A and B are shown apart, each in its own frame.
Chain A
Amino acid sequence: QKEVEQDPGPLSVPEGAIVSLNCTYSNSAFQYFMWYRQYSRKGPELLMYTYSSGNKEDGRFTAQVDKSSKYISLFIRDSQPSDSATYLCAMSLAGGTSYGKLTFGQGTILTVHP
Chain B
Amino acid sequence: DAGVTQSPTHLIKTRGQQVTLRCSPKSGHDTVSWYQQALGQGPQFIFQYYEEEERQRGNFPDRFSGHQFPNYSSELNVNALLLGDSALYLCASSPTGGSKYTQYFGPGTRLTVL
Contact with A along B81-95 (1 / 0, CB 8 A): 000000000101010
Chain A residues within an 8 Å CB radius of B4: 43
A98 interfacial by beta-carbon distance below 8 Å:
yes
Q: Once the chains bind, are A102 and B90 in contact (CB under 8 Å)?
A: no
Chain A residues within an 8 Å CB radius of B102: 46, 49
Q: Once the chains bind, are B41 and A106 in contact (CB under 8 Å)?
A: yes
Chain B residues within an 8 Å CB radius of A34: 101
Contact with B along A77-114 (1 / 0, CB 8 A): 00000000000101010000111111111110000000
For the complex, what is the distance from the CA of A101 to the CA of B56, rounded to whole Å?
Answer: 8
Report the count of interface residues on A (CB-CB < 8 A). 26
For the complex, what is the distance from the CA of A88 to the CA of B37, rounded to whole Å?
Answer: 12
Q: Once the chains bind, are A102 and B108 in contact (CB under 8 Å)?
A: no
A60 interfacial by beta-carbon distance below 8 Å:
no
For the complex, what is the distance from the CA of A6 to the CA of B41, rounded to whole Å?
Answer: 10
B97 interfacial by beta-carbon distance below 8 Å:
no
B:33-64 near A, CB below 8 Å: 33, 35, 40-45, 48, 55-56, 58
- 16 further A-B contacts with Cβ under 8 Å, apart from A88-B42, A88-B43, A104-B42, are A4-B42, A6-B42, A43-B105, A43-B108, A46-B103, A92-B101, A100-B31, A100-B55, A100-B56, A100-B103, A101-B33, A101-B58, A102-B35, A102-B45, A102-B92, A107-B41
A residues contacting B by CB (< 8 A) are 4, 6, 8, 32, 34, 36, 42-46, 49, 88, 90, 92, 97-107
B residues contacting A by CB (< 8 A) are 4, 31, 33, 35, 40-45, 48, 55-56, 58, 90, 92, 94, 99-108
